[in-house]
Amino acid sequence: MLLKLARQSLWHRRGTVLMTLLSLTISIALLLGIDHLRLEAKRSFTSTVSGTDLIVGARSGQLNLLLYSVFRLGNATNNISYQHYQQLASHPQVAWAIPMALGDSHRGFRVIGTNADYFRYFRYGQQQQLTFAQGEAFSTVYQVVLGAAVAEKLGYQLGDKIILSHGVGAVSFTQHKDQPFTVVGILAATGTPVDQSVHVSLESIEAIHLGWQGGAPGFGKKPKLNDTQLQQLQPKVLTAFMLGLKSKVATFAIQRQINEFKAEPLTAILPGAALAELWQMLAMVENMLLLVTLLVLIAALIGMVTTLLAAMKERQREMAILRAVGARPWQLFCLIQLEVFCISLASIGSALLLLSGTLAGLQPLLSSSYGLVISWLPWHGHTAVLLAALLALALLLGAIPSYLTYRQSLAQGLTVRL
Amino acid sequence: MNTNRSKKCWPGKLLMATMMLAAGLAQAQQHAEHGAHQHGKASLTFVLDGNEAELVLSTAAANIVGFEHKASTDAERQQQQQQLEMLKSGSWFMLATAANCSISGQNFREEQGDANHADLYVDFQILCQAPLKLSDISFSLFSQSPALESLNVQYLVNGEAGVAELTAKNAVLKLIR
């Protein structure tokens, strides 16, 4: 009965109510969106490194090393020698090691020089292994395995020939034109930066840079290598490598040993701890952002109360008639609260729809340009609590016009002033 | 182990980063390591896997003993003795009692850098009967070693890594569950 009254009264004033609804929808969507993106970005980053115990690179800060080696952000401070990689990979506590040589690219996507262990041991998410959507791992030089997003965006098929570029810009002037690569495998999508990567063997990296001097192609004709020479290529330097350990308890001990490695200044990091440090640094920004959104939301709620208060004058007759047909003052209080409840609930509903729609629309862009896979469902364990708190706040603020209506309906009764 | 490890070793390697594979071939030569030596700050790592745990503290000696030069008077010798015993005994940290943990082994190492600088390393191997109940570790080290101001912690508990900075006011390490 009350609900029907509230609904029809709202419908009667649909113009202003719609505007209120809109401003509430946008601010709720903003709040939920920021909360969702924050948590999803963390989940996405964490799942990328979940299977790796240590990452080793040249001596630098742990964040720098993490960002360039795993997330392909930024550049390495230095290279490390392949010989020391082999030495550390054969450490009795090390279960597996994945070498990485970065520095080349293909049309904006980074090239990783690695070996077959990458496809065998790399783990992401809940200990998931890399799988091939098509083809298989490279077995010799001049073969390339593409990440899912690379193949999709550039429209490559198995057997296609591609040219790698020197450097990591989207447009490169130095191309390894004389040495085309054949696509032999395409990985299944993982939702990690692996999707954005082009994988070749370490020997291939060595081959395309053969005859180069000081980081530029040497003068004169490059020596054409025959198959035996190609087989004999030995990698000399790496950018970084990932380690899996036999026992997690040894993690910090191995890290210490690598950090104190005498032959070369190296840094070993725990990817999880480095990420935790990153979140700690960003916590401040995150909180500021949440605070701003919260203020926007409160402004929208106050806007709603303002509209309700403004409507009170024009609704004097409505209230008087309701009183005349037997409505009690507390019922009028409930009526206004019910209106607030309806507006808030409708805003929450449309905010969730708006957000899911936007996320679903943005997903391809986010995943291809940032390597972030954001779920389109903005729902987490605490979202229900957040929304309940929001409703409670709305009702609390809504109590102001409701109470005034209650008071006035008592005081004014049925007196009709002309 | 820690993030602020000194980076001033091997100056020859401080060339600009070049991503080019032709550059910077590493040579197998020795370089001296200078770990971060900070007064007032120490670093601690804690790892728990299954029911095995290890806790390692590395710190400048001054943080624990109060001074780093060779003890010269009887009073100094006594103070040094007392503080080192305290450090080795493991009485400066307390694992949540519900986890029912006990220390199963301990190593201690002292490195005299030069006449006025020394570092201490102590590590404890720990066994826990109920590792899932290990919710926190509290540290009384701050009151036992007043010179220590903060403790940089990195931990790895059943695959979940984290960092924390503990101080006298906030001396409990809460572990992710």
Condensed to tens digits (0 to 9), the pLDDT of residues B98-114 reads 999 999 999 998 887 77
Segments forming the whole domain that contains residue A256: 54-269
Q: Which residues of B touch A84 (CB under 8 A)?
A: 26, 28
Q: Which residues of A touch B52 (CB under 8 A)?
A: 249
Beta bridge partners of A186: A134, A146
**B100 interface with A at CB cutoff 8 Å:** no
Residue B69 located in a structural domain: yes
State the total domains in chain B.
1
**A243 interface with B at CB cutoff 8 Å:** no
Residue A17 located in a structural domain: yes
Predicted local confidence at residue A49, as pLDDT: 85
A181 and A64 assigned to the same domain: yes
* A231-to-A45, A85, A176, A207 alpha-carbon distances in Å: 37, 20, 19, 10
| CA pair distance B77, B70, nearest whole angstrom | 9
Asked if the Cβ–Cβ distance from A209 to B20 is below 8 Å, we say: yes
Asked if the Cβ–Cβ distance from B21 to A209 is below 8 Å, we say: yes
Contacts of A360 (CB under 8 A, 6+ apart): A376
Closest partner residue to A273 (CB to CB) among B18, B33, B161 is B161
* Residue B16 scores a pLDDT above 50: no
Residue B13 located in a structural domain: no
Q: Which residues of A touch B30 (CB under 8 A)?
A: 262-263
Q: pLDDT tens, A104-129?
A: 888 888 899 999 999 999 988 888 89
- The last residue of one of the domains, among A269, A290, A310, is A269
Residue B46 located in a structural domain: yes
Asked if the Cβ–Cβ distance from B17 to A78 is below 8 Å, we say: yes
Q: Kindly tell me the burial class for residue A358, based on how many C-beta atoms sit within 10 Å of its own C-beta (0-12, 13-18, 19 or more).
A: middle
Residue A418 located in a structural domain: no
Q: Kindly tell me the burial class for residue B35, based on how many C-beta atoms sit within 10 Å of its own C-beta (0-12, 13-18, 19 or more).
A: buried
A209 and A104 assigned to the same domain: yes
Q: How many CA atoms lie within 13 A of A220 on its CB side?
A: 5
Residue with the two structure tokens 């082994």? B105
Residue B130 located in a structural domain: yes
| CA pair distance A21, A349, nearest whole angstrom | 11
Greater model confidence, A81 or A415: A81
Q: Which residues of A touch B161 (CB under 8 A)?
A: 270-273, 275-276
**B113 interface with A at CB cutoff 8 Å:** no
**A236 interface with B at CB cutoff 8 Å:** yes
State the total domains in chain A.
2
**B47 interface with A at CB cutoff 8 Å:** yes
| CA pair distance B140, B173, nearest whole angstrom | 12
* A398-to-A313, A408, B73 alpha-carbon distances in Å: 16, 16, 75
Closest-CA residue of A relative to B17 is A77
* Residue A29 scores a pLDDT above 60: yes
A306 and A219 assigned to the same domain: no
Asked if the Cβ–Cβ distance from B25 to A168 is below 8 Å, we say: no
Residue A276 located in a structural domain: no
A98 and A247 assigned to the same domain: yes
Residue B10 located in a structural domain: no
Predicted local confidence at residue B12, as pLDDT: 35
Closest-CA residue of A relative to B24 is A79
Q: How many CA atoms lie within 13 A of A409 on its CB side?
A: 28
Residue B12 located in a structural domain: no
Q: Which two tokens stand for residue A404?
A: 């005034």
**B72 interface with A at CB cutoff 8 Å:** no
Residue A235 located in a structural domain: yes
Residue B6 located in a structural domain: no
Asked if the Cβ–Cβ distance from B21 to A237 is below 8 Å, we say: yes
Q: Which residues of B touch A166 (CB under 8 A)?
A: 20
User: Which of B53, B1, B2 lies closest to B157 in space, CA to CA?
Assistant: B53
| CA pair distance A97, A76, nearest whole angstrom | 19
**Given pLDDT bands bounded at 50, 70 and 90, which one contains residue A379?**
confident
| Mean pLDDT value of segment A218-232 | 64
Residue A159 located in a structural domain: yes
Segments forming the whole domain that contains residue B154: 38-174
Residue A240 located in a structural domain: yes
Strand stretches in A159-235, DSSP E: 161-162, 165-166, 181-187, 197-201, 212-213, 216-217
Closest-CA residue of A relative to B159 is A248
Predicted local confidence at residue B101, as pLDDT: 93
A191 and A61 assigned to the same domain: yes
A119 and A234 assigned to the same domain: yes
Contacts of A72 (CB under 8 A, 6+ apart): A102, A110, A193, A196, A197, A371
Residue A218 located in a structural domain: yes
Closest partner residue to A62 (CB to CB) among B3, B13, B24 is B3
A221 and A340 assigned to the same domain: no
Closest-CA residue of A relative to B44 is A252
- Identify the weakest region by mean pLDDT among A1-15, A58-72, A234-248, B50-64: A1-15
A224 and A318 assigned to the same domain: no
Asked if the Cβ–Cβ distance from B156 to A270 is below 8 Å, we say: yes
Predicted local confidence at residue A376, as pLDDT: 84
A40 and A63 assigned to the same domain: no
Residue B133 located in a structural domain: yes
Q: Do residues A303 and A28 touch, judged by C-beta distance below 8 A?
A: no
Q: Do residues A174 and A217 touch, judged by C-beta distance below 8 A?
A: yes
DSSP-derived letter for residue A137 is -
Q: Is beta strand A197-201 parallel, antiparallel or unpaired with respect to A109-114? A: parallel
Q: pLDDT tens, A74-102?
A: 888 889 999 999 999 999 999 999 999 98
| Mean pLDDT value of segment A338-367 | 90
A92 and A232 assigned to the same domain: yes
**Given pLDDT bands bounded at 50, 70 and 90, which one contains residue A26?**
very high
Q: Which residues of A touch B107 (CB under 8 A)?
A: none
